[in-house]
Amino acid sequence: MEINFVNGNILLNNGNTVDFHSFETIENIDFKLVFNTETIGNFNKISIEIHPNKKLKLSNFSLNYSFKNQENNGFYCNGFQSWTDTRVFEKDEKIGRISRLFKPICKFYSDYNTYNYTEKKGLFHSWNYAFFQLEGGKPFFLAGINETDAYTLFEADYGTEQLKITKCIDGWEISSPTLLMDFFYGIDIERKCYDQFYTFLNRPYPKVDQAAGWTSWYHYYEKISEAIVIENLEAITAKEIPISFFQIDDGFQEKTGDWLQINKKFPHGMKYLADKIKEKNIQPGIWLAPFICSKKSEIYKNHPDWILKDEKGKLIKMGFNPAWDGWFYGLDIYHEGVIEYLKNVFKTVLDEWGFELVKLDFLFAAAPLPRAGKTMGKIMDDAMVFLRTLVGDKLILGCGVPLIPSMGRVDYCRIGPDIHLKWDFTLLKWGNNRERPSNLNAIGNTINRSALSHRGFLNDPDVFILRKEKNKLNFEEKYSLLLANVLFGDLIFTSDNLNTYDEEMLFLFKSIFPLQKPQDLKINATKNLYKCTFRIKERQYLSFFNLTDTTKRVKLPSGLFFDGKKGVLIQGKQMHELKKHESCCLLNVGYNPFAISGTKGHLFPGCEVENIYLIDDALQIDLIPGLLNPITVYVKTPKEYQIEFINGNSVQTIQKKEFNIIKASI
């Protein structure tokens, strides 16, 4: 695929516009534009510098390209922030505008206030990076490199076959030579595209590992108490679940924004709970939303000058939450009072209370509009640098935040919306709210943003649910949520009270341990039907996710497969049926005459086995350390093999036409 430059323009706030049709130096009374192009491997890099002749206030800068007659299967759209739906849109789809009913409530959650949604079919937009999905699987990748000063927006219009690249520079004031736009594009395998992207961004790589944990939100929401926290802590540790983090979410504070005023449901205070968690050799975490306050908070009452205002001086409503007494507001991160207040909050939470991880939420509220001579992108970048300074070497889980400003500034980052207690939030789906709580979108984003992980941060896919109470998910929906989180995510959390688990639920929960990180992950998607291949060590796997509302049939490749969920062997070269919202994880047994053909004990069947030895009529199987469940192992053997024992246990032989399956519990 090729894209060809057509034209570009730069607009100043005084109304002066300069159009251009080539990458030659442009000079006028206000400024000079200098273009630089460079080829790096399979990628082309374009940099544009602006040299002002006086102080300038910028408004817009864009480049237009043609992709006429270029075949591709769709355009990958990265949503504005953590919660925004992200996937490849096919050319006959559209991104709908949010309903008028919901826009006043959540216009600042995303780009509803800054981007003109037209509901035109085949018109798509993506923030910071994007790609055209080509035949054969390689992406035609595009990404902004200098996202520190302003966001880059990519728009693909399949009607006109035009690609527009816009630098969102509205409000930017400059008086010296400035890098205006810096981006690259090219074709390569997906991993190399993301590697090059992060190399250009030049941010630190994460120093944390994949981890499991518990959080209070998706069971108790804001109705938590000291007793509830301790009950769940005891349940986790009594069942010897090896979690790294135990996080207390929203509901401990008197009012949102007043983070050091603890409500009466926590009579011993937050240090008491942090110490209790540490006694279990678990790192304590706590939720904060540092850039917002509710209308009944002390901040709102006593410090109205701390709150962000629009051009007319009116307080900016960031959103509406009944649990927070209605409207909530954003704080000015450049106000000295806000700076000193947050310094004290974080010093208290981290140093005096002793929390090791802070989940920082609703961070988009720092930058709803350009101001103070800075773009929205620059303000958001400043906010994330500020937070990293406050937290120091302790850990940040970012949430409700544009992803590129978070890279290198947080340790873990939410890459999808909140889950919902039903498959989807019907009313908000009808209203085209792209940030709505939704299992459909949570799983979709977990898959479609999986390639970001281990670059600027580790991915938080949100929680899974296995419990029966307080949700309306069926087993297949719960299993899909669990499988997606463990397969594609890095921070594996639940909010379930393990005291309510029956034996089957506890076995499934324990089956994620020890956490295993899949390698060589490859994803193919047709709207909401996903096929994924990956490996764990030398074992190969195939997984399908049917996120649609109808039954789908998928064609298996040749070979023999073991379905870990159902505990059955499946012959390849046939159609495999998936009910709506169902997923599966299949071990590729392959053609080897002697091989592990499946296990029951881990979510990824077969990964439990480290080595296998045959000694006379007995098998010796070495298992990986850290398994929590008893293991049932299946071994495929030629007919002539007579196996009587596995690890000293007697076996059951299952006769097949061309081979035997040897089964034993070890």
- 168 and 269 together in one domain: no
The pLDDT of residue 14 is 82
pLDDT tens digit sequence for 246-282: 999 999 999 999 999 999 999 999 999 999 999 999 9
Residue 627, both tokens: 């398994």
pLDDT-derived band at 637 (thresholds 50, 70, 90) equals very high
For residue 382, the enclosing domain spans: 211-510
pLDDT tens digit sequence for 293-315: 999 999 999 999 999 999 899 99
Concatenate the DSSP letters of all residues of 295-329 into one string: TTSHHHHH-GGGB-B-TTSPBPEEEEEGGGTEEEE
How many angstroms separate the CA atoms of 161 and 7, rounded? 14
- Evaluate if residue 16 carries a pLDDT over 90: no
In a domain, 111, yes or no: no
- Evaluate if residue 527 carries a pLDDT over 90: no
Q: Which of 510, 542, 571 is at the close of a domain?
A: 510
- 276 and 339 together in one domain: yes
Preceding omega of 139 cis (within 30 degrees of 0): no
In a domain, 489, yes or no: yes
Backbone phi, psi, residue 628, to 5° = -105, -25
The pLDDT of residue 656 is 86
- 377 and 303 together in one domain: yes
pLDDT-derived band at 616 (thresholds 50, 70, 90) equals confident
How many angstroms separate the CA atoms of 399 and 439, rounded? 17
- 56 and 150 together in one domain: yes
- 567 and 440 together in one domain: no
pLDDT-derived band at 512 (thresholds 50, 70, 90) equals very high
Pick the closest to residue 241 from 459, 466, 421 (CA basis).
466
- Evaluate if residue 81 carries a pLDDT over 90: yes
pTM tops 0.85, yes or no:
yes
In a domain, 386, yes or no: yes
CA–CA–CA angle 94, 96, 97 (5° rounding): 145
In a domain, 583, yes or no: yes
pLDDT tens digit sequence for 538-556: 999 999 999 999 999 999 9
In a domain, 110, yes or no: no
- 233 and 175 together in one domain: no
- 232 and 373 together in one domain: yes
- The CATH number of the domain where 608 resides is what? 2.60.40.1180
| Cβ-proximal residues to 48 (8 Å cutoff; 6+ apart), any chain | 33, 34, 35, 36, 61, 179, 180, 181, 182
First to last CA, the chain: 53
pLDDT tens digit sequence for 556-571: 999 999 999 999 999 9
- Evaluate if residue 658 carries a pLDDT over 90: no
In a domain, 388, yes or no: yes
Q: Which of 476, 510, 544 is at the close of a domain?
A: 510
Q: Which of 156, 171, 201 is at the close of a domain?
A: 201
- 361 and 254 together in one domain: yes
